[in-house]
Amino acid sequence: MTPFGQALRDMRRKRGISQKTMAAAIGVTPAYVSALEHGHRGQPSWELLQRIIGYFNVIWDEAEELQKLASVSHPRIVVDTSGLSVDATRLANRLASDIGKLDEADIREMLSLLETRSPDVPR
């Protein structure tokens, strides 16, 4: 699941809306809504994101947060380490191969370290 998918699911469930109802209202299929929620689809297009924001009639701050979450919700990432150090390339490759083996505490610890270094990046 992606950060955007989790937020979308939480908003929909909090309001008691089915995937089918939401899908019809924003012009997509229920399967597409499910794929967005489960992280099987990448970042939604700007247009679709605006339809979702309009559908939920969210305020500015919440709309901005959804946009930030969408921007960090690519389920398949490509990390370009060309021009970076050998250790940076090694880190990217280790993370790619081992992320599925990390427990949630390790992931939160790594995120915390990164977030203290780059606090402006959406969470």
Please compute the mean of the pLDDT values over residues 56-80 and round it to a whole number.
87
All structural domains of the chain:
3-71 (1.10.260.40), 77-123 (no CATH)
Average pLDDT, the chain: 90
pLDDT at residue 94 is higher than 80: yes
Instruction: Locate 77 and state its tokens.
Output: 């990432």
Residue 41: the pLDDT is 86
pLDDT score of 121: 58
**3 vs 66: CA distance, rounded Å:** 9
Which pTM value belongs to this model? Answer: 0.68
CB count, 10 Å around CB of 53? Answer: 17
CB 9 within 8 A of CB 66: no
Asked if residue 36 lies in contact with residue 74, where contact means CB atoms within 8 angstroms, the answer is no
The whole-number average pLDDT for the span 63-67 is 91
User: Would you say residue 26 has pLDDT above 90?
Assistant: yes
Per-residue pLDDT at 18:
97
Mean pLDDT of 12-35: 96
